Structure 1
């Protein structure tokens, strides 16, 4: 058996027989794929939402505080606590998008940027990824530049408090939790993060 082949008793790829465009939903485009169940031969239509990649940012000050954003989310109909992030614009790479989103949503810029990797946003029907960035030495340098559909409030709190808000359920956005977990793992390993109260001379 080829090493790349799926196990006999494992899930198999579903052949795509046809594909047609659906409506443009502003933040994404729908696509209808006709696929075939590899075990039964039955065909069915599945919806794929074609979406540009996203980015989010764990921004830490030299005092080991994290920059959070509170905003109303239309999907859940409630105010959420998150980290800055958004869509990667056409022609941008993920770093440029991360720097732009941090500046626009929080007014902060940072002196050092570390790529944390990416995850599939929702592979059930999205085709995109979310890229995580860690920004060190974050400082307030600009006024906020919210989009017309945003009403933002910025909080700067100790990083450990953000982790506690995950445990309490206040921070519930899965992609935010993923980014925080990656940074928490680095912190437990004694890597990257400044010590609380680190001065500019001793910070990275």
Structure 2
């Protein structure tokens, strides 16, 4: 059976700096109609950055929606029309102060497909060397952490690392 929902109407509810929220009226596979609230997000890029073969660079930052400081991969939002790989290269340097000799695409994930269309593209960076000191955005406060991969896996298992893009990246290697 085809479970595809056909969009009959879309109404913008909110237009923000990063996201838009739209109310979709959809026709269900059984012919009935329903409403879907959809968050439109431009997507992002996350980088699994190896300091050496056993050590990865993670960033610590406060995440307002869940009121917690999270440990996660360096990552950032795609700008309109920006090349995905170039976004990753830019974000790596902005958040960590490093550039990479090797930058390899690992895959992509959808962060919350029940209500959001965001894709996160995951890259692996190796052969790190110093670029400009991590500049970040003016409203970003970040601590850079170098953590052994075995420790990261342990932190994922015991719930210290709960960020989905970070957990997903470790499934891709």
User: What TM-score, normalized to structure 2?
Assistant: 0.93
Equivalent positions of 1:97-108 (< 5 A) are: 97-108=87-98
Give the number of equivalent residue pairs. 173
Pairwise CA RMSD: 1.5
* CA–CA separation in structure 2 for the residues paired with 1:80 and 1:162: 13
1:82 Cα deviation from its structure 2 partner: 0.5
1:38-61 residue CA offsets vs partner (Å, 9 max, x unmatched): 22x332221111110211000002
Q: 1:27 aligns with which of 10, 18, 28?
A: 18
1:63 Cα deviation from its structure 2 partner: 4.3
* Secondary structure in 1 matching 2:136: coil
2:26 is equivalent to residue 44 of structure 1: no
1:141 Cα deviation from its structure 2 partner: 3.0
1:160-187 residue CA offsets vs partner (Å, 9 max, x unmatched): 221111112111011211012212xxxx
Partner residue in 2 for 1:56: 46
Partner residue in 1 for 2:128: 138
2:168 is equivalent to residue 178 of structure 1: yes
* Secondary structure in 2 matching 1:75: helix
Partner residue in 1 for 2:85: 95
Identify, as 1 or 2, the structure richer in strand: 2
1:136 Cα deviation from its structure 2 partner: 0.8
Q: Gaps spanning 5+ residues in structure 1: where?
A: 1-6, 184-204
Q: Gaps spanning 5+ residues in structure 2: where?
A: none
Instruction: Report which of the two structures shows the higher radius of gyration computed on alpha carbons.
Output: 1
